[in-house]
Structure 1
Amino acid sequence: MILYTALPIELILEGSECERKFRQIELDGVKLLVEATGEEEGRIVQVLSSDPNDFLNPSFQPGQTVKFYSCAAVVD
């Protein structure tokens, strides 16, 4: 891939070295991939389900914040 830009490469790649912490959790019977934003909460990144209705549930949409202690299980 070639990136044509007038910005310095350091600016473009800034923050890309940060390791993101993901957890796989089960909330209300639905498996979710969550990025940890704190010790007890995270942001939904992906729904890991084969049921199309789970993707239509607004509480499971990517970007929503969930509390880990309200989850049925942390699959990790």
Structure 2
Amino acid sequence: MILYTAMPLEAVLEGMESYRPEYLELDHPRGKIIVERISPTQARVVRLISPCPQDYLDPKTQPGTIISLMP
């Protein structure tokens, strides 16, 4: 990674070591979804694990999508 900035490297990377995302593995009807919790009731999809190629085209399970953790 090349980073072009006038800021000192210490200021750019400050706090990077302390960030630990909380990943959860949720069951999906056709596979598993790995999500990152962003609030107590919401999570961001990080990865979909499914044997069916059609599941990867579903916009509800694409990486970056915000989903509700409430039933």
TM over 0.5: yes
Sort the Cα spacing of 1:53 and 1:39 in 2 relative to 1 into closer, same or farther, 3 A: same
Q: Distance in 2 between matches of 1:49 and 1:24?
A: 13
Structure 2 runs not aligned, ≥5 long: none
If the length of structure 2 is used for normalisation, what is the TM-score? 0.76
How far 1:15 sits from its partner (Å)? 4.0
Superposed CA RMSD in Å reads 2.0
Aligned residues, how many?
69
**Equivalent residues in 2 for 1:50-65 (5 A)?**
50-65=51-66
Give the equivalent residue in structure 1 for 2:50. Answer: 49
Give the equivalent residue in structure 2 for 1:40. Answer: 41
Structure 1 runs not aligned, ≥5 long: 71-76
Give the percent of matched residue pairs that are identical in Structure 1 and Structure 2.
30
Structure 2 SS opposite 1:69? coil
Cα deviation digits, residues 13-42 of structure 1 (max 9, x gap): 234221111001013333101000011210
Give the equivalent residue in structure 1 for 2:22. Answer: 21
Ranked by relative contact order (alpha carbons within 8 Å, sequence separation 6 or more), the top structure is: 1
How far 1:12 sits from its partner (Å)? 3.2
